[in-house]
Amino acid sequence: MNWIYQNSWAGQTYLQWALSLGVLLFILFLNRPLASLINLLVYRLFSERDPERRRLFNRLTGKPLRRLLVFVGLMVAFTILSIPLKVVWFGKPLRIHFYIDILLQLGLVWYAAKTLLKVADFVADVWQQKAAKHPEKIQDQWVPYIKDGIKVGVMLSAFLFVIGIVFQANIAALIGGLGIGGLAVALAAQESLANLLGSFTIFLDKPFTVGDTIEFKGITGTVENVGFRSTRLRTLDKSFVTIPNKALVTEPLNNITESTHRRASFQLGLVYQTGPETLRTVIQEIKTLLNEHPMIDEDPVVSFFGYGESSLDLQIIYLVKTPDYNEYLRVREEINFGIYGIISRHPTDFAFPTRTMVTVHD
């Protein structure tokens, strides 16, 4: 034992080399089972014992946690070795100790932050599954918002740790400097701040929630995500539309899901050869068709609207008792076929643009 203590190589005793090598070999060969054990202990803190979710948790956090443990082992081995603060290399002093210490601390912060971000992803996924089973859709909407907030908090904490602990900067002076330039930053980020306030307005006022179908400036789609800056819609043709939150809270918006009915309104043109009695009969039969349909609300409107350039125009307005767009189309199709049958049974026809030219000879 005295030989291990007294003999050295490259400025380090054999005992220091042996301990450092032992730590490195331990962490390199046992980092996977050690990471699995830590994952199991952390998993049981916030989730029920679901094997499928546990496998998901291990898949998300396993890789960054193993690399974090490797950096912990490197830091312990580095602490055991007595590396001088400065090493003379070709006549120039180099701060080898300082640079190695900085790199190891940055690695620790980087993989610790990545591990926490993966944990946030897992927790958000568990909350999302539970919120999907809850009748209140607003809970489902809050999950991505909380997830993004946690991630921002983790990244901000990692940044401040690197600045304050690793590089030993004055955090108070840094925050004071940010306060001086805060006005310029606020002016430059007016649009982003407006969208952020818009997102809070959406959550508090609840004009819509995730899963609702809305119509905004001619765009109709289902709300898939409400973020800090924008809201994402999946349209009827399956395209993905992103709308700034500021616009959604300052412009008129139609929440189709909250509607109990859908409105159909159109004009029907009949030829001018249609007699007045035939016109009255057609109007009455269309009213009867609408009143007898179980999906049409009471008091539909069918009236002789006016004289067009090449048609006698009927105005038809009715409400379908459903917010579902596909069901609305089905009912409207049935009504259109019914109107087609009515017109076919009478001495009239659908009008189309025509011109009658009269040539007069002297």
Residue range 84-107, pLDDT digits in tens: 655 555 556 666 777 777 888 888
Written as one string, the DSSP assignment of 77-110 is HHHHS---S-EEETTEEE-HHHHHHHHHHHHHHH
Reading the block at residue 101, the tokens are: 């210490």
Q: Are 261 and 323 in contact (CB under 8 A)?
A: yes
Q: Which residues of 172-209 are buried (b: 16+ CB within 10 A; e: fewer)?
A: eeeeeeeeeeeeeeeeeeeeeebbbebbebbeeeeebb
CB 94 within 8 A of CB 87: yes
Alpha carbons 348 and 181: distance in angstroms, whole number: 76
CATH of domain 262-344: 3.30.70.100
Instruction: Output the six-digit token pair for 331.
Output: 């009912």
More confident residue, 317 or 189: 317
Model's pTM, two decimal places?
Answer: 0.48
Residue-wise pLDDT tens digits, 32-60: 888 888 877 777 776 556 777 777 777 88
- Residue 201: pLDDT over 80: no
Query: Would you place residue 248 in the very low, low, confident or very high pLDDT band (cuts 50, 70, 90)?
Result: confident
CATH 2.30.30.60 in the chain, residue ranges: 190-255
- Which one has a higher pLDDT value, 136 or 129? 129
Residues carrying CATH 3.30.70.100, the chain: 262-344
For residue 224 the two structure tokens come to 């898939």
Strand partners, 255: 214
Architecture of domain 190-255: Roll (2.30)
Distance CA 66, CA 49 (A): 22
- Residue 288: band (very low, low, confident or very high) from pLDDT cuts 50, 70, 90: very high
Q: How many CB atoms lie within 10 A of CB 290?
A: 23
Virtual torsion, Cα 252, 255, 258, 264, nearest 10 deg: 90
